[in-house]
Amino acid sequence: MKFGIKTPPQHCSWQDMLDVWRLTDEMTVFDTCWNFDHFYPLVGDANGPCMEAWVTLTALASNTSRVRIGCMVNGAPYRHPALTANMAASLDIVSNGRLNLGLGAGWHEAECAAYGIELLPLKQRMDRFEEAVQLIRQLLTQEHTSFQGEYYCLTEARCEPKGPQPGGPPIVIGGGGEKRTLKIAARYADHWNLPFATPEQFRAKHEVLLGHCEAVGRDPKEIECSVQIALAADTAVSEAVETAHALEEAGVDTIIYSLRPPYLAATVEALGTALE
């Protein structure tokens, strides 16, 4: 089993987040570090502070050297897929090939309404997301990409330079929607993340993913499966470890501990020590 730490850039200082990432980078029990892609906090006061995903991820990448990095996950409505692909290729270079590229269809209505971003009804949103995932994959692997879809049109589009990872950064698709999200994950994902699920919930969703893999002819062993666990500063380390073991028995490959404010490096150090 592998372990990661996630620091949503909400209700926290830059220094606290930086301290956590630097410590995580030093503790080899952790393989990955993540942030999230929202403009408003998802916990606590919705009017509180929240830093932007790509800026913080790039800065954090430059302050680490070992852990793989990523955003869990980038919302498709916020950026054109060609922009996302170019940003990902550049960050993969900057991080020396450590980027995992998280992608999701988007869901936060308040953010989209406030910023005038078109979220779209669910079916159309998922259709757009599937187009975006296809385009990003092509831009990160091909010299030229031409695509004519309902939402995006590219003509001999280039994305250069490519990053150092063969085939581009692994694509991480987050979510548990059984009809569309898991089907898209079966087709395109290198890594599927289910947020804040119990072992029973993971097993049920994983069975659906297996069915989609069979339908599209994909070997499910090619897809890393992870689950997020909320980790508050006062969470007992023994409880956090026990929850991870239960999910491991359910078939989860990777546990990502999503911190809750305040972000304390000491919390991560105690957890890492217990997991070693």
E strand or H helix that includes residue 173: strand 171-174
Global pTM reads: 0.96
Nearest to 137 by CA among 196, 182, 98, 89: 89
Residues of 229-246 as b/e, b for ≥16 C-beta within 10 angstroms? bebeeebeeeebeebbee
Q: 261: which strand partners?
A: none
Dump pLDDT digits (tens) for 125-183: 999 999 999 999 999 999 999 999 999 999 999 999 999 999 999 999 999 999 999 99
Dump pLDDT digits (tens) for 11-42: 999 999 999 999 999 999 999 999 999 999 99
Dist CA 108 CA 235 (whole Å): 27
CA torsion 5-206-122-159 (nearest 10°) is: 60
